[in-house]
Amino acid sequence: MNDFHTSDDAYQTLLVSVWEVGEAVGPLLTASLSEIYGRCPIYNFVNVVFVVFSVACALSNNASMLAAFRFFNGIGDGSLALNASVVGDMFRQEERGLPVALMAFPPLIGPVAGPIIGGYLTDAAGWQWAFWLSAITGGVCTGAFGLVYRETYRPRLRQVHEKKAQRQQHHQHISQSRVKSNASFLLKDLLRPIHMLFTSKIVLLLSAYVSIVYGLNYILLTTMVEVFENVYGFSQGAAGLSYLGLNRYVKHQSRKTGKMEPEHRLPVMLVGAILVPLGFFLYGWTAEKGVFYVVPMIGTGIVGFGFFATTIPLQAYLVDAFGDYAASAVAATVVSRCVVAAVLPLAGPPLYDRLGLGWGNSVLGFIAVAFVPVPVLFMRYGRRLRAETKIDHSALR
C-alpha cells in the first residue's frame, strides 16, 4: 500500500474481498456455458482471462486499478465451478472420492500457500512479482492444459457425435433447429445456478453452510498476518508461515457398501463441522494470552483441516446428486460462499478491536457451532431431499 501512497488498512481487506466478488460472478457464466458448449472451450477461455488480468494487476499503478483488475482476475478462476464437474464426467460414482479431493485441493490450498510465497516474494522483489509469478505459472499451465485436455462433458460429446452423423447423412438442417433451441434457452440456462440456489433445498442449505465456513475462514486469512506480526513480532514473510497451520489435507475415502449413495460421503463433513469451532476457540484464546506461537498455529491448522473436511465431501456430494448439472450446483455454492467471503472479512478487524482475539474468535466459533447439525440433517434426510429436487433439462435438448 505504500507504493500507492495510502495507509488505509481497509484496502488490504478490499483486495481480498474484490477477488471473491469476481469468483462469485465467474461461476454464473462458466458453469452454465460449460453445460451448453462443453467444458473444454469455456475452461480454456477463463484460463486465458486469468493470465491476462494477472499481468494487468502487476502493471497497476494505483490502488483502484489493482482492485478493478483483481475483480476480473477472480472471474478467470474457472476451477472452482468446473474441477469437480470434470471429475464427475470422467469417473464412476464409486471412484470419485479421491479424484474430487485431488482436484479440489489446489484451489483450496491457494489461500494457504499464497501468503507464504507472497510474503517472502514481496519482501525480496516487490508486490508486483506476486502477480508476475501468477501470470507466468498460469500461462504455462494454460498452455499445457490447452494441449492435453479434451472434452469430457457427455451431453456435448453426444451432440458432436450426432452432428457428425448428420453431416455424413447430408441432413445438416436438423442441427440448425438445435442452434435455435440453444439460443432461445440461453438466458434460462445462464440463470440455472441462481435458480437452483433458491429452488433446491439441497443446494440452498449446503450453500448457506459452506458460505459460513468459508467466510469464517476468510476472516482468519485476512487478519492472521497482523496478529502474528503484532502479538509475536513476526516479519511479513515469517508471518506468512502462520498459514502453514491451515495446510492440512483430509483424505477422503468412499467405501463401496452395496449401492453407492451420495450421503455416504458426509460423515467426513460432520467431522469437519465439529473441528472448525474447536480451532477458533484454541486460536483465539491462545493468541489473546500470548501463548507460544506454535499453539495458535495448531488452532489455525484445526480450522483449516475442518474447512477441507467440509468443502471436499460437499463438492463430491453435489457431483453425485446432480450428475450432468453438477457444474451449476457447485457454481451455486461457489457464488454464495464467495459473496459471504467478500463481505464477512470486513467485520473481522472491528470485531477483534471491540472484543479482542479471545472473545472475537469465540463468537466465530459459536456461529460455526450453530451449523454443525447441517451434515447430520443431510445424512438422515438427504435421499428424501434429492427425490424432491426437480431439474430443468432444457440445456441438454
- Could you report the per-residue pLDDT of 12-48, keeping only the tens digit for each? 667 767 887 888 888 888 888 888 888 899 999 999 9
pTM for the structure as a whole = 0.73
Distance CA 164, CA 15 (A): 47
Closest C-alpha to 97, from 242, 233, 260, 206: 260
- The pLDDT of residue 322: 86
The residue-averaged pLDDT of 287-292 equals 84
CA distances (Å), origin 384, targets 98, 270, 392: 26, 19, 19
> Please, are residues 54 and 138 in contact by the beta-carbon 8 Å criterion?
yes
Considering Cα of 356, then 359, then 362, then 367, what sign does the dihedral take?
Answer: negative
- The pLDDT of residue 78: 77
Distance CA 63, CA 65 (A): 6
For residue 258, give the DSSP letter: S
Encode pLDDT of 184-231 as tens digits.
566 777 778 888 888 888 888 998 888 888 888 878 776 765 665 555
**Conformation bin of residue 85: beta by default, left when phi > 0, alpha when psi is -120 to 50:** alpha
- The pLDDT of residue 3: 62
Encode pLDDT of 304-353 as tens digits.
778 888 888 888 888 888 888 888 888 888 888 888 877 787 788 888 88
Contacts (Cβ under 8 Å, ≥6 apart) of 28: 190, 193, 194, 331, 335
- The pLDDT of residue 224: 65
